Every structure is written in structure tokens, then in C-alpha cells.
Amino acid sequence: MKILTWNINSVRLREPIVLKVMKDMEPDIVCLQETKCPDELFPKDNFEKLGYSHIHVNGMKSYNGVCILSRVPFVSTDIHHRCGKEDCRHIAASFKGFDLHNLYIPAGGDEPDPVINEKYKHKLDFVDEMTAWFAGRYSNDNPVVTLGDFNIAPLEHDVWSSKQLQKVVSHTPPERERLDKMLGSLDWEDALRHFVPEDEKLYTWWSYRNRDWKKSNRGRRLDHIWVTQPLAPKLKSHTILTEARDWEKPSDHVPVMIELDL
């Protein structure tokens, strides 16, 4: 079972490269964030032609939006609203053997102060709410996957310079502490760090502002896949498709995929 996550930054604009990844990497399930597309305009046809006939979307015009494209049938699907907003940031699907949650955690704006920056407060509140919700919804022995653009690089080597980014939203102590609590909510296994030691640099995002992103390599690991402990022994491999950042009209995020031996 191959499960892929990707913040695509407009599914209609970047449909060709999503199709390319589907053909080349052959994931069984594809989870996209920041689709920026109302449900009625979602480009289902070409995905269905590739065999992804099970499609669960929750989108809006110009902002946010999440979807799950699957070759595997759904048992059920859900849309969840967080922090009193209906802003298309959390959808779920149950499959035979596990539940899957696709999250697009708020970016949080520029100022890391919840008093003066409502976007940053929303981000912290969102993570707090997810932490409590997961703990209330499941027990540690339930097989669950959660993934997506968490917009937080929690570990020292998830960023190019932890020292310089302490006050930069995505790597501030309040965000990192909250994401660590969310990780503990079900004793989640960080699937990428299952394969890559914490003292090695690991990135999934490079800013559009870096003209030569490869040379400067000032990346951050904002995209995550977590599995609960019943699934952790089944982790087989991971892929971070760094080369996708160099494609024509790329997203600033790259595809991240794990393979589970189910």
C-alpha cells in the first residue's frame, strides 16, 4: 500500500504534474492539500481514467482545500470542521484495515504572536484541537494514518538553521511544542523519521523566494505522514520526490510517500 501526500498549490493549475507523479510513482492513495478548487470544478476525469475512481474532496475557491484520490474503495468518508470554521482543512476516509486523515494545518501568517496575529492563534488552536480530538476519537491500538501539510518543521534538522528560524513561523517553540503534543496524542510514529535519523537534514518545502532553491537549499520539513503503533512495524519505505521542485510550474512542496506492507 503506497500512500502519498502533496501540497499542490492549485490542483487545476498543476493537474499535469499530479498525473505524472501518479503514473511514475503508482501510489494507491493520493492526498492533496491547498487544492484551491470548489468541489464542482474539481478535475476528476483524468484521475478516474488512471484508476483513481474513489474521490473525496472538500474545496473552496482560491484558498485551502483537501482531497483524497484512491484506487482502493472507501468504507466511509468524513468532512471535519475545525475551530468553528468551514475552511476545508480536514477530511477523512476509512479503508479496510485503517482510517486516514488528510490535514492542511493553517500556515499562521508572519508574526509569531497570537495576541496580535489571529492567523497564528488559529494555527495553535487548530493543533490543540486536533490533539484533543485524536485522543478522544481513538485509542493507541487503532490503526490510523494522518498526513498532510502541517506547516510546522518540528525538529532541529527539519530546517536549514534552527538557530536562525526560532522566531520564524513554522519553527517557533509554541508550534513545535504543540505538534509534539499532537504526536503524543496516540503515540504516533513519525514515518519519515522512522527511516531518516533525527540528526540528518530532511526537507519537503523550499520557498519560491529562493531563486536557486537547490544551491541555497534553505528548506523545511512541513509535510508529514504519521502512523499509529499498530502500523509502525508495517512501514516498508519512504520517498521524498525532491526533483519535483525543479519541474515546470512546480509547487513549493514536493510529494512525500510511504509504503506499508499490509
145-157 pLDDT per residue, tens: 999 999 999 999 9
Task: For residue 167, give the C-alpha cell.
Answer: 522566531
Question: What's the whole-number average pLDDT of the chain?
Answer: 97
Mean pLDDT along residues 49-63: 97
Q: How many CB atoms lie within 10 A of CB 165?
A: 18
Q: What is the pLDDT of residue 73?
A: 98
Q: What is the pLDDT of residue 51?
A: 98
> Which residues are CB-neighbours of 200 under 8 A, at least 6 positions away?
157
Q: How many CB atoms lie within 10 A of CB 10?
A: 16
Residue spans of the domains in the chain: they are 2-260
**By the 8 A CB rule, do 232 and 190 touch?**
no
Question: Which CATH architecture is the domain 2-260 placed in?
Answer: 4-Layer Sandwich (3.60)
Kindly give the pairing relationship between strand 189-190 and strand 223-227. Answer: antiparallel
Q: Given pLDDT bands bounded at 50, 70 and 90, which one contains residue 210? A: confident
DSSP secondary-structure letter at 189?
A: E
Cα distance between residue 6 and residue 123, in whole Å: 19
The answer for 117, left when phi > 0, alpha when psi is -120 to 50, beta otherwise, is: beta
Cα distance between residue 233 and residue 13, in whole Å: 37
12-41 pLDDT per residue, tens: 999 999 999 999 999 999 999 999 999 999
Indicate whether 185 pLDDT > 90.
yes
Task: For residue 194, give the C-alpha cell.
Answer: 522512522
Kindly give the pairing relationship between strand 189-190 and strand 144-149. Answer: unpaired
Q: Given pLDDT bands bounded at 50, 70 and 90, which one contains residue 181? A: very high
Q: What is the pLDDT of residue 177?
A: 98
Task: For residue 238, give the C-alpha cell.
Answer: 519512504
123-133 pLDDT per residue, tens: 999 999 999 99
H-run or E-run covering 22: helix 15-25
Q: Given pLDDT bands bounded at 50, 70 and 90, which one contains residue 211? A: confident
Cα distance between residue 2 and residue 51, in whole Å: 14
**By the 8 A CB rule, do 120 and 114 touch?**
yes
Q: What is the pTM of this model?
A: 0.98
Kindly give the pairing relationship between strand 29-33 and strand 2-7. Answer: parallel
